[in-house]
Chains A and B, each alone.
Chain A
Amino acid sequence: MRSSSIAFGDRHYEGNYNRLAIAGDAEITNSDVKKVYCAGDLSISKSTIGNLKFAGDLEADSVTIGTIKGAGDASFSGLCKVDNCVMVGDLECDMLECEILQNGPRSERVNTTSTPTWEGVFKGETFENFKELALEGEIEFKNIILSAPLSTKTEISCDNFYLFSGLTFGSINAEHTFILASSNVHLDTVTGCTVEVKKEFKPGKEFKRIRKNGKYNNLCSDNGIASVDNIEADNIYLENTKSKYICGINVVIGDLCIVDRVEYQDTIEISHKAIVNEVVKT
């Protein structure tokens, strides 16, 4: 039978445990633990943890963790796997695989003073960003949902990309891209299969199917105009968008769009409230 432990002060654990509650610095090696609660610096290596909640710094080496909810700086070395990772603080890793990776708390009541920095390679299914984040590595996720600004120097590639906040950024390459139109959105290039820039967001079936932590109800923009220099996609639907060049098969230019040049293959619709300087059928 697994035992539980409560520790005050520095402790070292090795073996199988049910629940560890630690106030102080702790080191866990070669262990299998169902739940770990730690207030203090925590070092875990070659272990499997079911549920980890910590406030302090975390150093993990080659670990498998079910759920992490952590406030503090975390460093993952070796190959680490986490099912659901919610972090508030800096994160550094060689390679971190997560089903769901979330930056910042969903609640707006929790305020973080500085912008955390994440370094390394992050892989997984869904990445959710609820607080401003500086990413100095790579993210390879199937679904990316940004509800807060993200700064990164590399192109974002994924299957589904949802942007609900301001973003000043280079390029996005996604099968399906949704951008909530806002004056704080400034993008160079968006490419993919479907690109939508709308004033409102209503979660559709595809969005509901995505495994995620956050709850996204109907969202409205600030009625500003998003700036996307180049858009290349099969199906394009735009509202409140300023763009230099748009190229697609089926293109809908909705209200309050300002576009320099549109190239379309099959169909095009242009709202009477939009300005398009040049339309070319290819």
Chain B
Amino acid sequence: MKNASLDGIGMLNGGEYNKIELDGISKLKHPLIAKSVSIDGIFKSKAKIQADFLSFDGISRVFRDIKAKKIDINGIVKIRRANLYADEIICTGILVCNREVNADYINIDGNCSANTMYGDTILINSNENNNQNARIPSKLGIFSKLYFGRQVKTSMSLVDRIECTHFEGNNVYCKEVYANSVKLTGYSEIEVLHCDGDIDVANTCTIGKIVGKEYNIREMGEMVNTTIRKILDLYKDGKIDANEAETMLSSLGVENKTHDSSPSVPWEDDGKLRVVAYIGRKLLKKGDPGQSKISVSIEGDALNVEAHGNVECTDIRGSVSAAGNVRCNDIRGNVSCSGNVQCSQINGNVSSSGGIRIDTGR
């Protein structure tokens, strides 16, 4: 693998390199793959860059996608009509991207202005001191949008949309943030925050709207109370068919909920009381191990009882069949069980693999 270095003014042809060092005024016109790229001075890229390590120092204008494992930005990097993909981005300068910045770990300790940021951990600390080091004349701030292609504020980082697991922002303005946990300090501002986890916000920060689990449930509840019943009435009255009812219900966002709440079961909707046991989403069936450890206690009389475990109840007006023990008062029908039987009276036949105890004093 060859190395390349450029000092002064020149153009770099693309290709595969081991190490590249650019200093002065340089331009890239063809796709570049390298292990290490170090850019200093003024740089313009009109081709894709793929590198293990990429270091920007000076002013760089990039018009094609960049992919790298680690990116260090100390100067100004302007990415226009292109995306930045990396495992780790550490920026102590200024990063402007009018498309997507995507990295597992993004740490901005300078300034950034981006359309979208995706990542696992995103830390943005708008550091005005670093911007001063970058020597952007503050009087030319009004022309910054023309130059950068996006609005850039020296006092604040601007990101339209952030999606990550953990987000920390200091002096950041975001239109929309999706994160599991958020910490905001300084004069940060978020228009809409979607967060289900911890939100730690300083008094000086502003959040327009917070959307979380509770809010969604509340909205759902309102719709359920007012409209779903009416849709079901229309269906019952025959005014709409099943497909139309499903369409209307799905527009209210209750389709999945309905399916989830009525899992498929191997019996008809016959009105009988059934007490069933699940392991995870698996229904325990007759003969499955662990059935005998389950006891079912029924308050009041029961008609017929069929249990794959133990049974406890008062009177049984019909018969009882259990895989475990049976313990009750009067049984007017037959008893069939694999365990012991303990009751006050049995009017029918008894078939038991264990002992039988009839206690008339119960």
Interface residues of A (CB under 8 A from B): 73, 90, 92, 117, 119, 136, 183, 223-225, 227, 240, 242, 255-256, 258, 260, 272-273, 275, 277
Q: Is the CB of B149 within 8 A of A272?
A: no
Enumerate chain A residues within 8 angstroms of B99, measured Cβ to Cβ: 117
Partner-binding segment picked from B7-15, B247-255, B303-311: B247-255
Check A242 against B251 for contact (C-beta < 8 Å): yes
| Residues of chain B within 8 A of A272, CB atoms compared | 239
CB-based contact B234/A273 at 8 Å: yes
Q: Indicate if the CB atoms of A183 and B98 lie closer than 8 Å.
A: no
Roughly how many angstroms separate A183 CA and B248 CA in the complex, as a whole number?
Answer: 10
Q: Mark B225-258, 1 if CB is under 8 A from A, else 0.
A: 0110011001000011000100110111000000
**Given A90-B81, A183-B250, A258-B248, residue A119 in contact with residue B239 (CB < 8 A):** no
Q: List the count of A-B residue pairs having beta carbons below 8 Å apart.
A: 47
Q: Which residues of the other chain, A, contact B244 by a CB distance below 8 angstroms?
A: 255-256, 273
CB proximity of B233 to chain A, nearest CB, Å: 9
Q: Which among A92, A223, A258 has the highest number of chain B CB atoms within 10 Å?
A: A258
How many whole Å from B39's CB to the nearest CB in chain A?
23
Contact partner of A225 (CB less than 8 A), chosen from B149, B226, B239, B248, is B248
Distance (whole angstroms) from the CB of A160 to the closest CB of chain B: 27
Note all chain B residues with C-beta closer than 8 A to A255: 244
Bound together, the chains give a CA A183 to CA B230 distance in angstroms of 20
Name B240's closest neighbour in chain A (CB-CB). A273
- In contact, B230 and A275 (Cβ under 8 angstroms): yes
Contacts of A136 in B (CB 8 A): 98
By the criterion CB–CB under 8 Å, are B240 and A73 in contact? no
Please indicate the chain B residues that have their CB under 8 angstroms from the CB of A90 in the complex.
81
Is B251's CB under 8 angstroms from A73's CB? no
Tell me whether B239 and A273 are in contact (CB under 8 A): yes
B227: chain A residues within 8 A (beta carbon): 258, 275, 277
Q: A258 contacts which of B81, B149, B251 (Cβ < 8 Å)?
A: B251
Q: Are B234 and A183 in contact (CB under 8 A)?
A: no
Q: Smallest Cβ distance from B178 to chain A, in angstroms?
A: 15
Cβ contacts under 8 Å, B98 to chain A: 117, 119, 136
A–B Cβ pairs within 8 angstroms, 10 of them? A92-B81, A117-B99, A224-B250, A224-B251, A225-B248, A225-B250, A227-B251, A242-B252, A273-B234, A277-B227
B residues lining the A interface (CB < 8 Å): 81, 98-99, 149, 226-227, 230-231, 234, 239-240, 244, 247-248, 250-252
Q: Which A residue's beta carbon lies closest to that of B46?
A: A57
**What is the distance, in angstroms, from B129's C-beta to the closest C-beta of chain A?**
31
Give the nearest-CB partner of A260 in chain B: B226
Q: For A73, what are the chain B residues with a Cβ–Cβ distance below 8 Å?
A: 81
- Provide the bound-state CA to CA distance between A256 and B240, in Å: 8
A224-B247, A277-B230 known; 4 other A-B pairs, CB under 8 Å?
Answer: A183-B250, A225-B250, A256-B244, A258-B251
Q: Report Cα–Cα, A123/B239, bound state, in Å.
A: 47
Known: A90-B81, A117-B99, A256-B240. A275 touches B251 (CB 8 A): no
Residue of B nearest to A136 (CB): B98
The residue from A92, A183, A275 contacting B231, defined by CB atoms under 8 A apart = A275
Residues of B within 8 A of A275 (CB): 227, 230-231, 234, 248
A240 neighbours in B (Cβ, 8 Å): 247
Most central of A92, A242, A256 by chain B CB within 10 Å: A256
- A224–B227 CA distance with the chains assembled, in angstroms: 17
Known: A117-B98, A275-B227, A277-B226. A256 touches B247 (CB 8 A): yes
Contacts of B230 in A (CB 8 A): 275, 277
Could you say which residues of chain B place their CB within 8 Å of the CB of A225? 247-248, 250-251
Taken together as a complex, chains A and B put the C-alpha atoms of A90 and B63 apart, in Å, by 12
Complex Cα distance, B230 from A227, in Å, reads 18
Q: Identify the 8 closest CB pairs spanning chains A and B, nearest first.
A: A225-B251, A275-B230, A242-B251, A90-B81, A273-B240, A272-B239, A273-B239, A256-B248
How far apart are B195's CB and chain A's nearest CB, in angstroms? 21
Q: Are B247 and A223 in contact (CB under 8 A)?
A: yes
* Alpha-carbon gap, A176 to B248, bound state (A): 26
Chain A nearest CB, measured from B143 CB (Å): 14
Q: Which residue of B lies closest to A57 (CB)?
A: B46
Known: A225-B247, A227-B251, A277-B227. A119 touches B240 (CB 8 A): no
**Contact with A119, one of B149, B234, B247, B251 (Cβ below 8 angstroms):** B149
Task: Please give the distance in Å from B331's CB to the nearest CB on chain A.
Answer: 52
Contacts of A92 in B (CB 8 A): 81
> In whole angstroms, what is the CA distance A275 to B234 when docked?
9
Q: How far is the CB of B66 from chain A (nearest CB, A)?
A: 15
Contacts of B252 in A (CB 8 A): 242, 258
Least Cβ–Cβ distance between B218 and chain A, in angstroms: 15
Among the listed B81, B226, B239, which residue makes an inter-chain contact with A117, where contact means beta carbons less than 8 Å apart? B81
Residue of B nearest to A242 (CB): B251
Q: Which of A117, A183, A260, A277 contacts B251 (CB 8 A)?
A: A183
In Å, the complex CA distance between A242 and B250 comes to 11
Bound state CA distance, A275 and B240, in angstroms? 11
- In the complex, A227→B240 CA distance in Å? 20
A255 to B240, CA, bound (A): 9
